[in-house]
Structure 1
């Protein structure tokens, strides 16, 4: 088994491979390359009317990279998880290198939801998201997709396609198609911190589609 280091993780992602543990107690990590891959079209992501109403009413506070460990722990806090101590440590290393990012949604001082993943070139590899409050993960994903569009990302990898992701617009593509899109995205100079990105992107995100032309 390959050692799970940040450097090896980046090489694996560039080849379309990602790690998973069988459980939080598992001592080993397996490397996965799925025959069919889940992706969420960045340019095709739209916020539902019900979610927009919820966000307008709530107006949550949004941060990035301020609670990375808390987001990963919350993602792992479920009956079955693939996040074991080795994976947690490796992604913390990627975070310290500037490749792994978290986005947090707050209701007051409470972490309502979040998402974390890995940025490499113009590809973002979504690892996991969670909800501690109603629509927490959906709000986190909406803010993340807006940031990725602004930053010039072209591929959002969800690894697998779940019913929840499918309801948000994710689709499944054959591995060969995924590998082509990955190879096209990796050389792009995308940024998770795009120049001029607003501290509060909600006015842009929550405006009706017709208002943007």
Structure 2
């Protein structure tokens, strides 16, 4: 069966409506264009994101349903709380964004890796501009897990996470949800549901509901210090 997609021109900064996305494959909207910061920010502001392999053209997606977290209702499991009390991982914001992006790319197998070199460069550029942010999990002064994503008003568009030690990415999400809620954050976008996200309590929104939430929240502001490099969880002996 033939698939007809909109081809984006690098000289023309626009996207088709997310509601034009295909049902099969779910959410495929367009191809081509580029990964400039202007295009990436325009994409995220409209509920669109890039996802493609090294040898493919750039593919743009807006799936339905959309996996999301409500940060204020995120509740870590009893086993995760017990684990954290025992191991006392430390958690920070924006202290090693480039490292987190690189680890998200390198810790996946060859057939899973979608973070191409060009995409890594693009997200690192967004980080220097204050749009891409990371959460780092530490043990013995080494990064053992984390996540990163794009900030659009009171929405955090999560892109990827990784773990080098047990539960590290779960703990990154747990403490980020607490921090994000305190900073007036309202919604965390996880793109597409999977078993890992579901086990953590992610829910699904139909595209229309997600887009409406995004449109209402993208102009709203977080607390000014939200993404200032900082510790959001220290070990007990280091807490004031």
Q: Hey, what's the Cα distance between the residues in 2 that align with 1:6 and 1:68?
A: 16
CA contact (8 A) 2:91 2:232 kept: yes
For 1:135-150, list aligned pairs within 5 A: 135-150=167-182
Bigger mean CA offset, 75-84 vs 89-98:
75-84
SS at match of 1:43: helix
- Residue ranges of structure 1 left out of the alignment (5+ in a row): 204-213
The aligned residue for residue 30 of structure 1 is 59
- Match for residue 100 of structure 1 among 115, 125, 132: 132
In structure 2, the partner of 1:209 is none
Give deviations 1:86-137, integer Å, cap 9, x for gaps. 1111101110011100110011022211000111111100001011001011
Q: State TM-score, norm by structure 2.
A: 0.78
Query: Could you tell me how far 1:195 is from its partner in structure 2?
Result: 9.8
**Residues 96, 125 of structure 1: alpha-carbon distance in 2 compared, 3 angstrom cutoff:** same
SS at match of 2:161: strand
Closer, same or farther: CA 133–187 of 1 in aligned 2, 3 Å? same
Instruction: Output the aligned Cα RMSD.
Output: 2.2
Aligned in 2, Cα 1:41/1:192: closer, same or farther, shift over 3 Å?
farther
Q: 2:221 aligns with which of 167, 189, 196?
A: 189
Q: 1:56 aligns with which of 85, 94, 114?
A: 85
More helix by share: 1
> Is the aligned partner of 1:9 residue 2:37?
no
**How far did residue 200 of structure 1 move?**
4.4
- For 2:151, the equivalent position in structure 1 comes to 119
Matched, 1:168 2:200: yes
SS at match of 2:72: coil
Alignment of 1:81 onto 2:110: no
CA contact (8 A) 1:113 1:140 kept: yes
| Larger CA Rg, structure 1 vs 2 | 2
Say if 1:197 and 1:97 are closer, same or farther in 2 by CA, change over 3 A: closer
Q: C-alpha displacement at 1:60, in angstroms? A: 1.7
